[in-house]
Amino acid sequence: MQFGWLTLALSPSPEEDAARIAQQIEQVCTAERLGFSDVWLTEHYFTGESVYNDSLMFAAALAMKTSRIRIGFAVVQTPFHHPVRLAVQLALLDNLTNGRIDVGIGKGTVYNEYEFVGHGLRSHDSRERMEEAVEILERAWRGKPFRYDGKFHKVDVPELRPKPVQQPGPPLWRSVISPGSFTECGKLGVPILTARLPVARIKERWALYEAGLIAGGHDAAKRARLLAQSALWRNVYVAESDAQAEDELAALLTETRHHMMHVREAFNPPDFTPGPETLNPWTDPKVADGEAIPYVLSTGSLYGSPKRVREQVAELRDVGVRHLLCQTGFGAMSHERNIASMRRFGEQVMSAFGTTQARSVA
């Protein structure tokens, strides 16, 4: 198996932002030393989540601090970026890292409408904006002059420089959850990320993705590579005992949820309501913590002593997971506690699963 590391920690106050950014750089360097194959950066604005906000600039800092670990985005919120500038920035990052960039593509948050409002947008046309951005990225990275006349962008580009190291460009990943999305991404031959998928559903979803790969006519080598790198996102917290891990993680998740619900109530415009299909016990403000926390512990978390977490990882391996993304920071969790959990996972869990070095996805 291979293990990625994902950051979605919170800075609790503006006064702490600089220190928290420095700590996240240190955490990424620790992840590389522990043998994690990839790091994934989230993108949120205005409220202390993803405290660096600009994941592209933060990735440039990481490019200078690391040498092996791949740097991914989970995900780039494409409506907030001009696609030509995004193509240039990602191509530059691919050069700075010598081809270590992976790009998760998204249409933007489905819960934090205030992020769209803060960028002078609303979310109703976010999918169309994402589709235009993807087309422009792919055309720009081919390195030839092109003209694009779309609904949102009309550009005439002589040539993109620098060209990405990875050709025909950094891999574009998609975040998926519905059964149809797994099949469609398989047909397209694109790598996938998924979160909070119950163990009972994993084998079924991976089979749908494989069926899509076959239907798309992709050869056996490509099918094997894409299946192996299909990534499952989990909260991960390793403590000295099972009881300690459960108590501490539950408290951290409760703090995270309270922050999440507070900022949405405070900043989302009154005419915005998340689509009912996007809500679950964790994201639905009408659901009490007493139901929400057990839900996220059971469907999206690996926690306990090193022995118990090894058993949980083995369960995922046995249903086909070969690439696990580990979020180890929650809420305003201290840097010291995060590093301690990361070390326990790296030294006492990952080592039991024959971890691989950073993969080539070009």
| pLDDT (tens digit per residue) in 183-222 | 999 999 999 999 989 999 999 999 999 999 999 999 999 9
Encode pLDDT of 234-259 as tens digits. Answer: 999 999 999 999 999 999 999 999 99
Q: Is 336 exposed, middle or buried (0-12, 13-18, 19+ CB in 10 A)?
A: exposed
Residue 339 CA to residue 328 CA, distance in Å, equals: 9
State residue 345's pLDDT score.
Answer: 98
pLDDT at 356 over 60: no
Encode pLDDT of 144-176 as tens digits. Answer: 999 999 999 999 999 999 999 999 999 999 999
Which pTM was predicted? 0.95
Q: Give the number of other CB atoms < 10 A from CB of residue 352.
A: 14
Cβ atoms of 46 and 118 within 8 Å: the answer is: yes
Encode pLDDT of 11-69 as tens digits. Answer: 999 999 999 999 999 999 999 999 999 999 999 999 999 999 999 999 999 999 999 99
What are the distances in angstroms from CA 119 to CA 53, 82, 85, 260? 13, 12, 16, 19
**Beta-strand runs (E) in 270-362:** 301-304, 323-327
Cβ atoms of 344 and 306 within 8 Å: the answer is: yes
